[in-house]
Structure 1
Amino acid sequence: MGYKGTPRTVKIDFAQGHEHHGAEARVRRMSFGEWEAILEGDDDNAVAEFAKRLVSWNLEDDDDQPLPATPEGLRMVDTSLVTALKEAWLQSITGVHAADPLPQSSPSGGPSLVESIPMEALSPSLAS
């Protein structure tokens, strides 16, 4: 029996304390070729691809009615949530955390050793 790959969809949810905690979505993965096409495009292309692959979500409108998990439904969602969903989806299929900050405890390092090396020209007798 051969390897069939990873699950066809990914679940997106946000951790406790995240601005959009409670929002969930299920989105289809993509092939490497489809990923390359996104890289060649712009951010609007990534949002369009996300919208095409959206399977389900738990989003509701102000009247507690479910929003359809469609490109039209996506247009009714706050832009910060759309951005967060898109970025979480891309991270889940690539494993890259593009927005992760460096830890605050990161050391600044010591002085460069290059600065302590004398940079005088060699005397004519040592140059040969």
Structure 2
Amino acid sequence: MGFKTKVRTYLIRFDEGHEFHGAEARLRGMSLGEYLEATGQDGGDGDTGASAAITRFLEHLVSWNLETEDGQPIPTTKESVDLVDHDLVLALNNAWIDQLLGVHKADPLPESSPSGEPSPVASIPMEALSPSLAS
């Protein structure tokens, strides 16, 4: 008997205090082929720009709890999503991508992290390079 595999489903939620706290969405994960295509690791251009990323988001959107101002559920169709706040859709998409990549906001860098500061190693002056390397 073999192992039956399936693509994972992710629940996207925002922490209390977040601008979109209360909004939830369920999205299917990506197969390896989709991931390689989205990131450009298949030799293509990947998902360049917000339009490609949102299209992929919509293709994987299973459900959400969004409603109109008068309490009507908003379907997950392209036409309905076009009416949803731009920032909310981008926040959901970015949270989904973070989950796919394994980014954990609960695990921040330690206080001792240099936060991208310049290297303490001194730069090598150009005149120190051999003449053949300097040209």
TM-score normalised by the chain length of structure 2: 0.68
- For residues 29-108 of structure 1, the aligned pairs below 5 Å read 29-39=29-39, 40-42=46-48, 43-96=50-103, 105-106=111-112
Contact 1:54–1:70 (Cα < 8 Å) also in 2: no
Shift of 1:96: 3.0
SS of residue matched to 2:52: helix
Cα pair distance change 1:113/1:17, threshold 3 Å: same
Q: Which amino acid aligns with 1:60?
A: E
* Distance (Å, rounded) in 1 between the aligned partners of 2:121 and 2:66: 56
Runs of 4+ in 1 over 6 A off after TM superposition: 100-103
- CA offset digits 1:38-86 (Å, max 9, x no partner): 2212132111011011111000011110000122221111111011000
- Root-mean-square deviation over aligned CA pairs: 3.1
Residue of structure 1 equivalent to 2:131: none
Cα pair distance change 1:3/1:96, threshold 3 Å: farther
Contact 1:20–1:81 (Cα < 8 Å) also in 2: yes
Residue of structure 1 equivalent to 2:12: 12
* Distance (Å, rounded) in 1 between the aligned partners of 2:38 and 2:121: 43
* Distance (Å, rounded) in 2 between the aligned partners of 1:82 and 1:101: 25
SS of residue matched to 1:25: strand
